[in-house]
Chain A
Amino acid sequence: MEHRVKTYLTADTILSALGFSTEENLEAVRAYRTGLGLINDTTIYDQPFIGAKIDRKRLQEQIEEAGLDSYTTLEQLFLLAISQVIYQSGIDPADPDCLLILSTTKGNINCLEAEGLAEEAYLSVMAERIANYFRMTHTPLVLSTACISGVSSLIVASRLIRNGNYKHIIVAGGDLLTRFVATGFQSFKSVSPAVCLPYDERRDGLSLGEACAALLVTSDRSRVKEAIPILLKGGGISNDANHISGPSRTGDGLHLAMEQALRESHLEANEISMVNAHGTATPYNDEMESKAIHLSHLDHIPLNSLKPYWGHTLGASGILETIACMYQLREGEVYGTLGYESTNVSYPLQVSAQHQTVASMRHCLKTASGFGGSNAALVLSVAEETEDTDGLVPIETEVIRNCLIRQGKIWVDNQLRFSIDEGDDFPTFIRKAYKDLALDDRKFYKMDDLCKLGYIATAYLLEGKEISDQYQPEEIGLILSNKAASLDTDLKHQQEIDSKGDAGASPAIFVYTLPNVVMGELAIRYKIKGENTFFVSGNDPEAFLRHYASLAMQSQQMRACVTGWCELLGSAYEARFEWIERK
């Protein structure tokens, strides 16, 4: 390795139902206090349910004090959290060495209720408003890969820092508990009527929460003010290639991500001191995790899920829980999984029910899994003065083939491959393009339009190529981007609940209200189990996608990758896909 660099995690803050600072939040956790409670608010769900809401009155006081009235609620939370990170670390956000990465699944989705498709519904617009507030030099990155967004954002940040692209990256994750989200999860029958009970045999679903959490990833030791510095040692991102909403029946996808994270950290499973898992408390998720943890030989290691304290905070969860892991490492304590008694998962885990002290705590493995078959894992370690994290030198890559779809025409390697009559709308075009390939895939017609576009772009891109003969599933990755995220289907879900009521939400629509589900569909179709990362961006970040692909290839065992721009909203659509291989 040509250069070595340390990626420190420092200067953190958590805004949640449990308080407005990390300290307040962890004090509550240490006292076994939950932020979950009965929510009786028909603007969120027409029946009372268990969830965790941020105290709006207290938030309003902070907003007034900071003069942030002109921003949306989620933006206000991001601004407050990021301000804390800047204050604690003393970095200059306008420094050209500083970048912002936002992790969110739904952003300002609540604006669809009142205004329909307003500007701020675009995640890139929200991100720019936040970056502009701090006069940041670079356009922020936005990651939206369902429930792994937070862990993925930290992994992406560490890769960019290890490559020397930036010195400081502020990583912030946030999502609100909205009617949009509550009705969707209720339609999946995955919300527990009580406080969620991860891994417990009585578990019957998740609890939803909301939060905003932020921290600094930096290579600059002088920014780290804590007595015990924490390093991000390595990470891995994978796909189950099994189902777009159901967890894998084998756990091999999550196992793969954990294996990657351990390999990159140069650690063996038995060197891990604790595992902080995703632990949503749905019957299938926790069962899948038990298999993955067993496959990774981690089932004898103390494990917890912190969902009973904050609920599932979606795009915030990975960052919020990573912050909690930093403190557990420093304190030498594994927090208890509130409410846990006994388990019925296939492979018994060492679930920590009470807070317990662990001697010589060194390394913590944090995992997340989500819709679209996505999994991510990272390793945090107590920093030793002697060790470094490997630097990253991008792998040299080559664009082998490209595919462009625009206005009813499909080009492959700049040759017109397929076109339709002018005046055909998107549904007609995409159906004809599908029929022309003579494929027999019952799943195609069930997809939403964004997935159909990505599916067709990849099908023409890879036409005649047997990638599964050439590569193992874990050697292939998916790195996509667009501007509208899943707004096209988001509007449909909103319309469903507006016209049919909260109980009328359709699971077949809601499952597509995440842009990374496109990658989930492609992973299933082409047996792709490697990296899957979705960047939401105002413009096609063509060069960045290639750069990131080559970094991911260096960091993971990836050897080939589909990258691309996959944009669809209403009648407008455009896809630009590339098949990239290692040189």
Chain B
Amino acid sequence: MEQLKQELKEALIDTLNLEDMTPQEIDDAAPLFGDEGLGLDSIDALEIILILERNYGIRIEKPSEGKEIFYSVDTLAQFITANRTK
């Protein structure tokens, strides 16, 4: 799980252009979206859907399905562990 979280953080920083951020700075439990957390938006959500598809073989059809799953690195990692096909 720890390795998966690290991998996820690296993918988020790289894909979402979180310049000047390191994986250590992303709190596992902090919200990814909205102003308090990383401040991600709807385009970032679509990019996360692509990460899930490409790296873990998980398809999400509608961005609205991802709301709870995308809450934090923790929730994302749990969802991936339970649903990954690769």
A contact residues vs B (CB 8 Å cutoff):
187-189, 243-246, 442, 444-446, 503-504, 506-508, 511
Contact = CB atoms under 8 A, between A and B. Distances in A.
A506 B44 CA distance: 10
A445 B43 contact: no
| Minimum-distance CB pairs A-B, first 6 | A445-B19, A507-B46, A445-B17, A446-B17, A246-B42, A442-B39
B69 interface: no
B63 interface: yes
A189 B63 contact: yes
A188 B42 CA distance: 9
B47 interface: yes
B43 A511 contact: yes
A188 B46 contact: yes
B32 to A, nearest CB: 12
A506 B47 contact: yes
B46 A187 contact: yes
B17 to A, nearest CB: 5
Contact of B18 (A188, A445, A507): A445
B74 to A, nearest CB: 21
Contact of B16 (A188, A446, A511): A446
A189 B61 contact: yes
Interface of B: 15-20, 39, 41-44, 46-47, 49-50, 53-54, 61-63
Main secondary structure, interface of B, reads: helix
Nearest to A187: B46
Contacts of B20: 445
Most buried by A among B18, B46, B54, B61: B46
Nearest to B60: A189
A508 B43 contact: yes
Given A189-B62, A507-B46, 16 more contacts: A189-B63, A243-B41, A243-B42, A244-B43, A245-B42, A246-B41, A246-B42, A442-B39, A445-B20, A446-B16, A446-B17, A503-B53, A506-B50, A507-B47, A508-B47, A511-B43
B58 to A, nearest CB: 14
15 contacts: A187-B50, A188-B46, A189-B46, A189-B61, A244-B43, A246-B41, A246-B42, A442-B39, A445-B20, A446-B16, A446-B17, A506-B50, A507-B47, A507-B50, A508-B43
Question: Which of B18, B43, B61, B63 has the most A CB atoms < 10 Å from its CB?
Answer: B43
Contacts of B62: 189
A245 B54 CA distance: 23
Contacts of B41: 243, 246
Contacts of B39: 442
Contacts of A504: 50, 54
A442 B44 CA distance: 13
A119 B50 CA distance: 33
A445 B62 CA distance: 26
Nearest to B46: A507
Contacts of A446: 16-17
B63 to A, nearest CB: 6
A416 B52 CA distance: 47
A507 B18 CA distance: 16
Contacts of B16: 446, 508
A524 to B, nearest CB: 11
A446 B15 CA distance: 10
Contacts of B19: 444-445
A76 B47 CA distance: 37
Nearest to A205: B62
A338 B53 CA distance: 35
A245 B43 contact: yes
Contacts of B46: 187-189, 507-508
Nearest to A204: B62
B16 to A, nearest CB: 7
Contacts of A442: 18, 39
A147 B40 CA distance: 25
Contacts of A246: 41-42
A506 B15 CA distance: 10
Given A442-B39, A503-B53, A508 B44 contact: yes
Nearest to B18: A445
Contacts of A245: 42-43
B81 to A, nearest CB: 24
A564 B53 CA distance: 41
Contacts of B44: 508
B43 to A, nearest CB: 5
A541 B42 CA distance: 35
Nearest to A447: B17
B59 to A, nearest CB: 10
Nearest to A189: B63
A506 B50 CA distance: 8
A507 B43 contact: yes
Contacts of A507: 43, 46-47, 50
Contacts of A243: 41-42
Contacts of A187: 46, 50
A188 B50 CA distance: 11
A513 to B, nearest CB: 13
Contacts of B15: 508
A506 B16 CA distance: 11
B67 to A, nearest CB: 14
Choose among B17, B18, B54, B61 the residue with the greatest number of A CB atoms under 10 Å from its CB: B17
A250 B53 CA distance: 33
B44 to A, nearest CB: 7
Nearest to B62: A189
A511 to B, nearest CB: 6
Nearest to B64: A283
B34 to A, nearest CB: 12
Nearest to A244: B43
Contacts of B63: 189
A42 to B, nearest CB: 20
Contacts of A508: 15-17, 43-44, 46-47
A99 to B, nearest CB: 37
A186 to B, nearest CB: 11
